[in-house]
Amino acid sequence: MSSHESRALSASELIDTLAAIGRTVASLNAAGKQIRVAVVPDGLWIDVFAPGRSELSRLIPTHQVSRMAPYAIAREIEALGRTI
C-alpha cells in the first residue's frame, strides 16, 4: 500500500467516527455555529457558518482521514468551528 492509499475502516471504526463527528457537530450547533460535514470522494468536506460572520470550508483528504482516530477528526472539526 502506498503512502496515499488508505485501508478500509472496519464497521466499528466507521460507527465510532460518525458518532464522534455527530457529537462534535451537535455541540458546535448548540453554541450557535452551523456545521456541515459531508463525505465526498476526496475525503470529508467541512463547512462552518456563524450568523453575521464569514464562512469557512476545509477538506480533510481521504488518506489523512483514514489515519485519524475518531477523536482526532472530532478535534479537527471543533478547531475549525472555534475559528469563526
**Do residues 83 and 72 lie in contact, with contact meaning Cβ atoms separated by under 8 Å?**
no
Domain layout of the chain by residue ranges? 11-82
Distance of CA 68 to the CA centre of its chain: 10
Q: What per-residue confidence (pLDDT) applies to 75? A: 94
Residue 84, burial from CB neighbour count under 10 angstroms (0-12, 13-18, 19+):
middle
Q: What per-residue confidence (pLDDT) applies to 30? A: 92
pTM of the model: 0.78
Q: Does domain 11-82 have CATH number 3.30.920?
A: yes
- pLDDT by position in tens, the chain (length 84): 455 555 677 888 889 889 999 999 999 999 888 999 999 999 999 999 877 777 889 999 988 988 888 899 999 999 998 887
Look up residue 26 and give its three cell numbers.
451537535
Q: What per-residue confidence (pLDDT) applies to 20? A: 92
